[in-house]
Structure 1
Amino acid sequence: MKNTKKFIGIFQALLLLATVSLAQNNGYEVGDEAMDFHLQTVSGSQVSLEGLEGNRGAIVIFSCNTCPYVQAYEDRMIELHQTYASKGYPLIAINSNDEKISPGDSFEAMKTRAAEKKFPFAYAYDKSQEVIRAYGATRTPQVYLLEKESDRYIVRYIGAIDNNYQDATSVSEFYLADALDALLSGARVPRETTKAIGCSIKWSRNSR
């Protein structure tokens, strides 16, 4: 009987550990505090949340060079940064794709793409894939809108930029912009999560 209770106790402990591990692997949910990061950008500097000045939060978008969904959104990403950076929400694009699996997403290729498109925002390389594992993004592009509270960054929206990647002129739901406008006005984000549609992450064989 004692051995049975001991076995049940061990099983329950292992089940709890597995559940916690699964939750961690799934990344952030709305309301979670986001980790900081220090990543190399194509401009030669590093970007971090703590290094942002005079901001009210940040728009973190997991991006890349090669995904056609990202390419369709690049001009909108530029416009979002130009509109909201001055209001306290700069955009940070992070490429986490393994360059060995996707050579077009190498750091050198990132520099070329950023120069071609004249990105006004920070474009950083998450070479170790540590950041994307913590955040839990599975697609490019995938948005994490963060609001600054004291020295903490709280996730307020996760998902897509809007509801039409193919045609910017046909967008009828501006998920990210609506969330930003809500935060700026002190209101609750109207839609906190949406499904990110895009390309899968090119994971390193050593990271999964």
Structure 2
Amino acid sequence: MKKIGMITFIMVMLMSFTTLSGYQPGDKATDFKLKSVDGKMYSMSDYKEAKGFIVVFTCNHCPFAVKYEDRVIELAKKYQSKGYVLLAINPNDPTVVPDDSFEKMKERAKEKGFTFPYLMDEGQKIFPQYGATKTPHVFLLDKNLIVKYIGAIDDNVDDAAAVKVKYLENAIADLEKGKDPTVATTKAIGCSIKVKK
């Protein structure tokens, strides 16, 4: 009897873990309505003609996120013309990391010339739904908000010139061919998302 009780307990714990782990490739993502640094609210439903969405969980202070900033800017420019919308979301609690406050986000976006919405996950409701754990952490969705790729942008945090595998771009290329990405998940490398303890 004890054995059955233990098995049930383990199954419940595993199910709880699965529920908390966020989206997997093939899942349908929930839309959001978040405030951007331009003061406007943005949702994926605003982009009726989009072929897909590149959702990047990122922030101001994390050294990994900073190393990827220029690459994120380039991705936004490159794929906008192909019909993909890049949305950057800051998931960090600004009371834990003051450098990730909304005012600092506005400063950073202006300084770097962001051409995409830079959104605040106020109340930290969105990143747990997605299962984002790092900054940066990328989620590629098709036009129906089906998750197609989750993970890193590429295989070299430190040196954009030394990148050998462009995971995100390869996933988009597969979508463009009408097929699911050959590599649907990779390990996101970055800083942990900051929440109140």
TM-score (norm 2): 0.93
CA contact (8 A) 2:29 2:146 kept: yes
CA contact (8 A) 2:149 2:185 kept: yes
Query: Out of 164, 174, 179, which is 2:166 matched to?
Result: 174
Q: Secondary structure, in 3 states, of the residue corresponding to 1:90?
A: strand
- 1:87-111 CA distance string (max 9 Å, x none): 1211100001011110000000000
Question: Which runs of no fewer than 5 residues in structure 2 stay unpaired?
Answer: none
Please state how far the C-alpha of 1:53 moved relative to its aligned partner. 2.6
Is 2:161 the counterpart of 1:191? no
Paired residue type of 2:84: Y
CA contact (8 A) 1:60 1:94 kept: yes
Is 2:157 the counterpart of 1:131? no
Distance 1:31 1:144 in 2: 12
Paired residue type of 2:136: P
Please state how far the C-alpha of 1:63 moved relative to its aligned partner. 0.3
Distance 2:110 2:160 in 1: 22
Partner in structure 2 of residue 87 of structure 1: 82
Please state how far the C-alpha of 1:10 moved relative to its aligned partner. 7.3
After superposition, where does 1:25-104 map in structure 2 within 5 Å? 25-104=20-99
CA contact (8 A) 1:40 1:124 kept: yes
CA contact (8 A) 2:148 2:180 kept: no
Larger Rg: 1
Q: Secondary structure, in 3 states, of the residue corresponding to 2:46?
A: coil
CA contact (8 A) 1:24 1:134 kept: no
Please state how far the C-alpha of 1:13 moved relative to its aligned partner. 6.0
Query: Identity over aligned residues, as a percent?
Result: 46
Distance 1:8 1:44 in 2: 56
Partner in structure 2 of residue 18 of structure 1: 13
Question: Which runs of no fewer than 5 residues in structure 1 stay unpaired?
Answer: none
CA contact (8 A) 1:140 1:198 kept: yes
Q: Secondary structure, in 3 states, of the residue corresponding to 2:142?
A: strand
Please state how far the C-alpha of 1:17 moved relative to its aligned partner. 4.0
Please state how far the C-alpha of 1:204 moved relative to its aligned partner. 2.5
TM-score (norm 1): 0.89
